[in-house]
Amino acid sequence: LEDLSFRFLEPELYRKIAQMLEQKRTEREQYIRDAMAALATALAAAGVKAEIAGRPKHIYSIWNKMRGKGLEFSQVYDVRALRVIAATTRDCYTALGAVHDLWQPIPKEFDDYISRPKGNNYQSLHTAVIGPGGRTLEVQIRTEEMHRQAEYGIAAHWRYKELGKATRAEGAFDEKIAWLRQLLAWRDEVAGRGDWAERTRAAALDDTVYVLTPQGKVIDLPAGATAVDFAYALHSDVGNRCRGAKVDGQMVTLDTPLRNGQRVEIVVAKTGGPSRDWLNAERGFLKTHRARQKVRQWFNAQTLAETVAAGRAVLEREARREGATQVRLETLAGRLGFGKPDELFAAVARDEVNLRQLQTTLRELAGIAAPVVAAPPPAAAPRKAKPSGDSGILVVGMDRLLTQLAKCCKPVPPDPIRGFVTRGKGVSIHRDDCPSLKRLGEQHPERLIDADWGARPGGAYAVDMVVTASDRPGLLRDIGEALARERINVTAVRTQSRDDLAHMRFSFDVEDLTQLRRAAAAVKEVHGVIRVARG
């Protein structure tokens, strides 16, 4: 019927393909019978008992394959095809050898889907050969079990595997598959009825989708649910580590809505967690309340873990300074009114514990006498910026903090600066416009802290200067001399030439921003220099 319809709807295409076939259908059918007879003789000689079937491909099917896969007619090797159903996998490979002995195989047209099944568990040997009369012929070889799965799907494969096992599991699985099919059929049947009650029940089904795990377990989800919802329905850990999904053996995006009867397999990573994008309702990754709740719980746990780690680092540093490293953390937490150490760590990180109170308690528990204090500060006195150690940097509200200049932006007085509380390394000082600081602040806003330059006599600050110039002999020497005139001691130079341009990065120390600006102005005067910028 397809060939007949195609002949009248697309007469030119039909005629063109028919001419390329060079044979009428009756001739092609006879060709298949002759090939089957020849192959049966070869298999018998090889000791393989097998069933052989064959068919010439319909003209419409040929055109459909050419259109769907973008092939030329000469690339369609299954215009004539044979199928061999053998008893065992070993017989399949023996039959393959008999086929290749009988006819010449076409290079690169052999696929072993038995040792490497397709994503939907399809298994078979496919080979294309030069058959009788020099015409191409495709041969498929598989066992009865493989054929059953190919013809009737994965559910039939599972049912076939369970045959002969007199267990209740077999009946339970059959009931599950039958129930799902009956449910979906019932929904389609009643959807068109006029009865209000029936329509209501059908609408209830429309609000739910039923999908299968690879093991055949039925999972019900709200309509519109995605593979991520499915993953969390299986287990929170599967959802957290979900990185991809296969639906009926094909990879799909994680925001693809699932449909009734689909078989879903989740691809997980060994480690890692969910993406924050999943919580964006506009992206459509999550439909179920359970999945959204589990994703939020994961990120809340991560934030708490980072807060606890930051607080622990502060407490351990204070314990070292006070010589109280032997104090039990459980005892310290109890003395300060916390049930367990992690609660204390989190409170320290959130600045909910007075630092002086913490130091005093550490000394008391360690049996160290408290130092004499001339006069305690007034209780109502506002918090002021105090110099952190001897760095000359003022950190608002905190005393005796270790500070370090960030290597990503290399601040120099009087650059506007801010601090970021690191884990165990004190406060990292960045330029206020530093991209790294902006990114860190978005991730951990509670760890940003105000800072300013204090009175620090002398000292040197590492900086980078990026220079772009027309490449020429002596350019590096001239720039070096210009920097030397400004009393700049260069510590490192990296150069790269590309498209007649020299790209150079100079590393050196300066006393302040004024000296850096003088050095930049001097380099700009060098012949050929196009651009000078701070690294």
- CATH code: domain of residue 465: 3.30.70.260
User: Please, how many CA atoms are within 13 Å of residue 366, restricted to the half-sphere of its CB?
Assistant: 20
Q: Say yes or no: 8 and 66 in one domain.
A: yes
Q: Say yes or no: 500 and 362 in one domain.
A: no
Please, what's the b/e burial string for 300-339 (b: 16 or more CB within 10 A of its CB; e: otherwise)? eeeeeebbbebbbbbbebbbeebebeebebeebbeebebe
Q: Say yes or no: 8 and 146 in one domain.
A: yes
Tokens 């299954």 found at: 78
Q: Looking at residues 200-227, what average pLDDT do you find?
A: 76
Tokens 């200067």 found at: 465
Q: Whole-prediction pTM value?
A: 0.33
Q: Say yes or no: 128 and 247 in one domain.
A: no
- Pairing relationship of beta strands 403-405 and 427-431 according to DSSP bridges: parallel
How far apart CA 410 and CA 389 sit, in angstroms, is 19
How far apart CA 460 and CA 249 sit, in angstroms, is 63
Q: Say yes or no: 341 and 270 in one domain.
A: no
Cis preceding linkage at 117, omega within 30: no
DSSP secondary structure letter of residue 104: E
Which residue segment(s) compose the domain that 354 sits in?
297-366
Instruction: Return the minimum-mean-pLDDT range out of 192-206, 259-273, 434-448.
Output: 192-206
Read off the pLDDT band of 188 (50, 70, 90). Answer: low
How far apart CA 508 and CA 404 sit, in angstroms, is 18
Report how many domains make up the chain. Answer: 5
Average pLDDT over the chain reads: 77
Residue at which a domain ends, from 453, 475, 491: 453
Q: Each residue of 304-341: pLDDT tens digit? A: 888 888 888 888 888 887 777 778 888 888 888 888 88
- Pairing relationship of beta strands 208-212 and 218-222 according to DSSP bridges: antiparallel
Tokens (6 digits) for 192: 């068109």
Q: Looking at residues 172-199, what average pLDDT do you find?
A: 52
Q: Say yes or no: 449 and 465 in one domain.
A: no
Q: Say yes or no: 445 and 471 in one domain.
A: no
Cβ-based burial of 246 (10 A; exposed 0-12, middle 13-18, buried ≥19): middle
Is the separation of the CB atoms in 57 and 78 below 8 Å?
yes
Residue 162 has pLDDT above 50, yes or no: no
30 in any annotated domain: yes
381 in any annotated domain: no
Q: Which runs of consecutive H residues, i.e. helices, occur in 163-235?
A: 168-191, 196-206, 227-234
176 in any annotated domain: no
34 in any annotated domain: yes
Residue 378 has pLDDT above 70, yes or no: no
Is the separation of the CB atoms in 84 and 95 below 8 Å?
yes
Is the separation of the CB atoms in 245 and 265 below 8 Å?
yes
DSSP secondary structure letter of residue 376: P
Is the separation of the CB atoms in 254 and 245 below 8 Å?
yes
Q: Say yes or no: 394 and 333 in one domain.
A: no
179 in any annotated domain: no
Q: Say yes or no: 29 and 102 in one domain.
A: yes
Q: Say yes or no: 215 and 337 in one domain.
A: no
Q: Say yes or no: 103 and 224 in one domain.
A: no
Helix (H, G, I), strand (E, B) or coil at 430: strand
195 in any annotated domain: no
User: Please, how many CA atoms are within 13 Å of residue 387, restricted to the half-sphere of its CB?
Assistant: 8
DSSP secondary structure letter of residue 431: E
Tokens 């329509």 found at: 199
Is the separation of the CB atoms in 139 and 79 below 8 Å?
no
Tokens 């879903």 found at: 264
Q: Say yes or no: 20 and 56 in one domain.
A: yes
Q: Looking at residues 195-206, what average pLDDT do you find?
A: 46
307 in any annotated domain: yes
How far apart CA 71 and CA 511 sit, in angstroms, is 71
Is the separation of the CB atoms in 191 and 202 below 8 Å?
yes
How far apart CA 438 and CA 441 sit, in angstroms, is 5
407 in any annotated domain: yes
Residue at which a domain ends, from 437, 453, 469: 453
Tokens (6 digits) for 80: 């004539």
Residue 17 has pLDDT above 70, yes or no: no
Cα-flanking dihedrals φ and ψ of residue 114, to 5°?
-80, -50
Residue at which a domain ends, from 366, 398, 426: 366
- Per-range mean pLDDT, top range of 108-122, 344-358, 474-488: 474-488
Q: Looking at residues 436-459, what average pLDDT do you find?
A: 79
